[in-house]
């Protein structure tokens, strides 16, 4: 039971997302520039593309668009991950999906904390891609135990944040005053720190093992490493970035450009080196690059069948390319993607009839006015115009894309090959709970929307 005086977790998340964006904008001015570019592009698309504008208006997504963003962090220990899960739970965020990044040579596995119900997503779709370092992949045993000891010494949460998490769990929520303090305290975990926790030499050793290991181990906390706004046309933004002095990665991750966008397309730019102070140096003599910028365009969530088709076509294009996409082969990669994806139906009707994507059903004016429809099957209600169908937006991430984003920001030079495989069970043990299967969530939302239509038709 929620107490009438408690602030809803959705509202806490909405405020936290805003506070995070304000903090990041102040810390990384380029993020502000990117946000302006995205806003301008979105306005242009809404003014010039009636189909997109109508679609966003009728699903209500138009209201969340300006505040829509995701962030990413990386943590070092099971205890950190488990406490983060509790912190995010206060904001109504659950771990959705399991992503294994080791096939791409990145020694982490991940989940995405986000709201799970469409009503909550509408209040704030804020998501945080959260990775756990797999220390067991450091082969040098001495370095591994050094990394472990450094991590064991740090506390990434403020004492007040921990108290408020416990209070929220105990009381079943937070009062207005507590919620305000919680947002302030929780933000501290994600702040950037110029001072490292290791010497310059220790940093070098960690970094030589993998740059990501240094990023996780050598600092006081899991600084937010990017915040990603949602654009309605990623190709425009990609083309405009250089005009604004920003150099994007060579290719856009995810599916190729389509009439009916599916899943998620992403591009990022490398952040600058930032001055840091190692423990054995006076002042900010060292440097570290961790923080970058990213933008994304979201499309329809795919069913298991649609996702299998996506994975097959993506793999076929990549196999034919025979290499990771890069500057030199970008044109060929894009051509191969377009060619292979011609097999994926590019109309919403086609995707719905073949059950490739999830949709939401809405009653139309005509449907509302008609009472004698009670016995018609769903398809006939749609074809007669009593129900309207809109694609359900994809709220999650893609492992191959995430690997491409990681790599472009860690430098592509060193490709590490790990002999290990995904270990969802170990991840969930560290997390202290199971991750939620994202496909089930989309199916539920689709089902609820159909039920609501039928209920309105008095079935
Ligand atoms: C996360 C990279 C993945 C995405 O949007 O797929 C990612 C990281 O670099 O920590 O952000
Ligand atoms: Ni990202």
pLDDT value of position 418 = 76
pLDDT, tens digit, for every residue of 359-376?
999 999 888 887 666 678
Domain ranges for the chain? 9-299+397-436
Pocket of ligand 1 contains residue 74 by CB under 6 Å: yes
Distance separating alpha carbons of residues 305 and 303, to the nearest angstrom: 5
Pocket of ligand 1 contains residue 406 by CB under 6 Å: yes
pLDDT value of position 393 = 96
pLDDT value of position 386 = 92
Pocket of ligand 1 contains residue 401 by CB under 6 Å: yes
Please give the backbone phi and psi of residue 222, each rounded to the nearest 5 degrees, phi first: -85, 75
Confidence tier at 434 by pLDDT (50, 70, 90): very high
Confidence tier at 459 by pLDDT (50, 70, 90): low
Q: What is the pTM of this model?
A: 0.95
Alpha helices in 218-325 (DSSP H): 234-240, 304-321
* CA distance readout (Å), 85 to 64, 91, 111, 167, 202: 24, 10, 10, 15, 30
Give me ligand 1 centre to Cα 252, in Å: 14
Placement of tokens 């030499």 in the chain: 201
- pLDDT at residue 204 tops 90: yes
Give me ligand 2 centre to Cα 102, in Å: 17
Give me ligand 1 centre to Cα 127, in Å: 11
Provide the angle, in degrees to the nearest 10, between the axes of the packed helices 78-90 and 424-431.
60
* CA distance readout (Å), 48 to 45, 239, 433: 5, 18, 46
**Residue nearest to ligand 1 atom 4, measured at CA:** 402
Query: Up-side HSE of residue 86: CA atoms within 13 Å toward CB?
Result: 19
Pocket of ligand 1 contains residue 225 by CB under 6 Å: yes
Choosing from 289, 405, 410 the residue with most ligand 1 atoms within 8 A of its CB, the one to mutate for a pocket test is: 405
Alpha helices in 74-157 (DSSP H): 78-90, 118-123, 141-153
Work out whether the CA dihedral 77, 81, 82, 87 comes out positive or negative.
Answer: positive
Residue 192 tokens, joined: 């950037």
Distance separating alpha carbons of residues 373 and 382, to the nearest angstrom: 11
Distance separating alpha carbons of residues 449 and 154, to the nearest angstrom: 46
Please count the other Cβ atoms lying within 10 Å of the Cβ belonging to residue 437.
Answer: 12
pLDDT, tens digit, for every residue of 137-165?
988 999 999 999 999 999 999 999 999 99
CA 443 to chain centre: 20
Ligand that lies nearest to the alpha carbon of residue 216, given by its number in the listed order? 1
pLDDT value of position 415 = 59
Q: Which whole number is the average pLDDT over 308-325?
A: 94
pLDDT, tens digit, for every residue of 7-60?
999 999 999 999 999 999 998 888 888 899 999 999 999 999 999 999 999 888
Residues across the chain = 459
Q: Which whole number is the average pLDDT over 314-333?
A: 92
Pocket of ligand 1 contains residue 190 by CB under 6 Å: no
Pocket of ligand 1 contains residue 397 by CB under 6 Å: yes
Pocket of ligand 1 contains residue 297 by CB under 6 Å: no
**Residue nearest to ligand 1 atom 6, measured at CA:** 402
Pocket of ligand 1 contains residue 267 by CB under 6 Å: no
Distance separating alpha carbons of residues 90 and 72, to the nearest angstrom: 18
Residue 399 tokens, joined: 């492992």
321 class by beta-carbon count within 10 Å (0-12 exposed, 13-18 middle, 19+ buried) = middle
Give me ligand 1 centre to Cα 72, in Å: 6
Pocket of ligand 1 contains residue 264 by CB under 6 Å: no
Q: Which of 433, 78, 400, 111 is nearest to 264 (CA)?
A: 400
Straight-line distance from the first to the last Cα atom of the chain, in angstroms, rounded to the nearest whole number: 30
- pLDDT at residue 187 tops 70: yes
Q: Which CATH class is domain 9-299+397-436?
A: alpha beta
- pLDDT at residue 301 tops 60: yes
- Do 426 and 111 form a contact (C-beta atoms < 8 A)? no
* CA distance readout (Å), 84 to 5, 174, 264, 326: 25, 17, 25, 35
Provide the angle, in degrees to the nearest 10, between the axes of the packed helices 176-188 and 9-27.
40
Number of the ligand 1 atom closest to the C-alpha atom of 73: 10
Give me ligand 1 centre to Cα 284, in Å: 27
Give me ligand 1 centre to Cα 228, in Å: 10
pLDDT, tens digit, for every residue of 102-141?
888 889 999 999 999 999 999 999 999 999 999 999 889 9
Pocket of ligand 1 contains residue 290 by CB under 6 Å: no
Q: Which whole number is the average pLDDT over 304-319?
A: 96
Please count the other Cβ atoms lying within 10 Å of the Cβ belonging to residue 69.
Answer: 26
Q: Comparing 128-132, 200-204, 407-411, which segment has the lowest mean pLDDT?
A: 407-411
The pairing of beta strand 69-75 with beta strand 226-229: antiparallel
Pocket of ligand 1 contains residue 405 by CB under 6 Å: yes
Please count the other Cβ atoms lying within 10 Å of the Cβ belonging to residue 106.
Answer: 26
Number of the ligand 1 atom closest to the C-alpha atom of 409: 9
**Residues 6 or more apart whose Cβ sits within 8 Å of residue 262:** 255, 299, 300, 302, 306, 310, 344, 351, 357, 394
Distance separating alpha carbons of residues 161 and 181, to the nearest angstrom: 8
Give me ligand 2 centre to Cα 267, in Å: 9
Q: Please give all residues whose CB falls under 5 A of ion ligand 2, grouped by chain where several chains appear.
A: 72, 228, 294
Provide the angle, in degrees to the nearest 10, between the axes of the packed helices 78-90 and 159-171.
60
Pocket of ligand 1 contains residue 131 by CB under 6 Å: yes
Query: By percentage, how much of the chain surpasses pLDDT 70?
Result: 97
Q: Comparing 121-130, 391-400, 417-426, 438-447, which segment has the lowest mean pLDDT?
A: 417-426
**Residue nearest to ligand 1 atom 7, measured at CA:** 402
Give me ligand 2 centre to Cα 71, in Å: 6
The widest CA-to-CA distance across the chain, in whole angstroms, is 80
**Residue nearest to ligand 1 atom 5, measured at CA:** 402
Which contacts qualify for 232-235: CB closer than 8 Å, 24 or more apart? 232/41, 232/42, 232/45, 232/46, 232/49, 232/52, 232/56, 232/65, 232/297, 233/41, 233/42, 233/44, 233/45, 233/297, 234/265, 234/266, 234/267, 234/295, 234/296, 234/297
**Residue nearest to ligand 1 atom 3, measured at CA:** 402
pLDDT value of position 160 = 98
Q: Which of 118, 328, 104 is nearest to 210 (CA)?
A: 104
pLDDT, tens digit, for every residue of 70-93?
999 999 999 999 999 999 999 999
Number of the ligand 1 atom closest to the C-alpha atom of 70: 5
Angle at 98 between CA 95 and CA 102, to 5 degrees: 135
């Amino acid at each position: 039971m929620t107490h009438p005086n408690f602030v809803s977790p959705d509202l806490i998340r909405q405020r936290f997302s805003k506070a995070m964006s304000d903090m990041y904008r102040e810390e990384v001015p380029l993020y502000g520039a990117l946000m302006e570019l995205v806003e301008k592009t979105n306005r242009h698309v809404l003014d010039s593309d009636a189909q997109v504008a109508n679609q966003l208006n009728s699903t209500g997504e138009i209201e969340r668009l300006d505040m829509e963003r995701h962030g990413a962090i990386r943590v070092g220990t099971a205890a950190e991950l488990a406490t983060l899960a509790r912190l995010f739970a206060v904001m109504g965020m659950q771990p959705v999906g399991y992503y294994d990044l080791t096939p791409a040579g990145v020694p982490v596995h991940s989940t995405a904390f986000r709201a799970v119900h469409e009503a909550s997503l509408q209040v704030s779709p804020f998501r945080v891609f959260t990775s756990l370092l797999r220390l067991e992949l450091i082969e040098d045993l001495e370095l591994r135990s050094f990394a472990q000891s450094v991590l064991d010494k740090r506390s990434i949460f403020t004492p007040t944040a921990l108290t408020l998490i416990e209070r929220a769990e105990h009381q079943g929520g937070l009062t207005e005053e507590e919620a305000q303090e919680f947002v302030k305290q929780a933000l501290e975990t994600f702040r950037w720190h110029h001072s490292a926790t290791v010497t310059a030499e220790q940093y070098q050793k960690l970094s030589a093992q993998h740059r990501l290991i240094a990023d996780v181990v050598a600092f006081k906390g899991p600084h937010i490493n990017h915040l990603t706004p949602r654009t309605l046309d990623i190709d425009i933004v990609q083309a405009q970035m250089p005009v604004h002095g920003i150099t994007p990665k060579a290719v856009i991750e995810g599916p190729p450009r389509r009439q009916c966008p599916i899943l998620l397309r992403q591009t990022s730019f490398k952040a600058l080196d930032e001055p840091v102070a190692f423990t054995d140096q006076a002042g900010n003599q060292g440097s570290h690059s961790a923080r970058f910028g990213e933008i994304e365009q979201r499309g329809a969530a795919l069913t298991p069948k649609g996702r299998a088709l996506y994975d097959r076509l993506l793999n076929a294009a990549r196999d034919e390319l025979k290499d990771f996409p890069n500057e030199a082969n970008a044109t060929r990669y894009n051509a191969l993607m377009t060619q292979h994806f011609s097999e994926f139906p590019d109309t919403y009707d086609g995707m719905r009839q073949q059950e490739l994507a999830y949709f939401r059903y809405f009653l139309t004016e005509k449907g509302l006015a008609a009472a004698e429809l009670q016995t018609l099957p769903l398809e006939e209600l749609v074809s007669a115009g009593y129900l309207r169908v809109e694609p359900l937006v994809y709220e999650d991430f893609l492992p191959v894309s995430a690997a491409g984003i990681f790599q472009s920001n860690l430098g592509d030079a060193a490709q590490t090959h790990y002999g290990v495989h995904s270990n969802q069970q170990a991840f969930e043990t560290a997390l202290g709970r199971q991750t939620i299967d994202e496909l089930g969530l989309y199916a539920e939302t689709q089902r609820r929307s159909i039920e609501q239509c039928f209920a309105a038709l008095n079935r």
